[in-house]
Amino acid sequence: MLTALADAPRHGYAIVQEVLTISGGQVRLRTGTLYTALDRLLQQGLVHVHAEEVVGGRLRRSYALTDTGRSTLVAETERLSLTVREAQRRLALPRFPASRASRPPGQPFGPGTVTA
């Protein structure tokens, strides 16, 4: 949700749509989940209410990142980048033979292995 607010303030429905776009359709926020998460982010000081307007007789709030929210997103982005780089590094290493943990049940690990 922080990523969805990184470039512009958005109201609830726009956040849902932005998260759907960012995730390539993999994450679909439900209304209850959205507003529970927004309440938590507000309490943590990561977002703030940017504006309120009445649309069709209903109050519509738009939310924006706070400086703390932006800093948190920067830190999380760096952490994820480090994780991706480490995964790429490990995937580039030569592969080792399958371990006991990855062998099918009932299959001995190697020649002469006794199974219980």
Let me know if residue 108 belongs to a domain.
no
- What average pLDDT does this structure show over 106-116? 55
The tens digit of pLDDT for each residue in 22-35 reads 999 999 999 899 99
12-22 vs 31-43: helix crossing angle, rounded to 10:
100
Q: Is residue 82 part of a domain?
A: yes
pLDDT band of 96, cuts 50, 70, 90: confident
Residue 83 sits in which domain range? 3-91
Of 50, 45, 40, nearest to 72 (Cα)?
45
Does the predicted TM-score (pTM) go above 0.85?
no
- Mean local confidence (pLDDT), 74-83: 97
Residue, of 37 and 110, whose pLDDT is higher: 37
Mean pLDDT for the chain overall: 89
Residue 19 is predicted with a pLDDT of 97
Q: Is residue 112 part of a domain?
A: no
Query: Could you tell me if residue 114 is inside a domain?
Result: no
Residue 69 forms part of a structural domain = yes
Q: Is the pLDDT of residue 110 over 60?
A: no
Residue 103 within a domain? no
The CATH number of the domain holding residue 86 is 1.10.10.10
Q: Is residue 98, in this structure, part of any structural domain at all?
A: no
The backbone torsions φ and ψ at residue 12, rounded to the nearest 5 degrees and listed phi first, read -50, -55
Judge whether residue 113 has pLDDT over 80. no
Q: In total, how many domains does the chain have?
A: 1
- Residues 46, 72: Cα–Cα separation, whole Å: 8
Does 74 have pLDDT greater than 80? yes
Residue 102 inside a domain? The answer is no
